[in-house]
Amino acid sequence: MRLRKRISGTSVKPRLTVFRSNKEIYAQLVDDVEGKTLIAASSKEKAFDKKGTKTDEAVSVGKLIAERAKASGIETVVFDRNGYLYHGRVKSLADSARENGLKF
């Protein structure tokens, strides 16, 4: 709640939110003004190739969300780590998204 009080996304600069479970990792670009999810990517998709560790999967999801955002014309986002520490899989996803063109 403390993070979401300060972080909000718009259609121009959406919020990149991360959710991680014990097995999977999910990323969404959310427009909080409209209350809509613009783009989503996860390690649970059928086209997703599960190879390597969970950290490797997070890197792949970060790359996937960045590619989909660039295709939609979104370049800058606000990062919402959802209360998770900026470490491990969350950091790997964020670094991968940055390397593939997202700015935050």
Question: Which parts of the chain have pLDDT scores under 50?
Answer: none
Indicate whether 12 belongs to any domain. Answer: yes
Domains contained in the chain, number: 1
pLDDT tens, 31-42?
A: 989 999 999 999
Q: Tell me the pTM.
A: 0.90
Question: Which pLDDT value is given to residue 92?
Answer: 97
Residue-level pLDDT at 6: 73
Token pair of 68 as six digits = 């989909």
Question: Is 104 inside a domain boundary?
Answer: no
Note the pLDDT of residue 1. 57
In CATH, what number is assigned to the domain containing residue 51?
Answer: 3.30.420.100
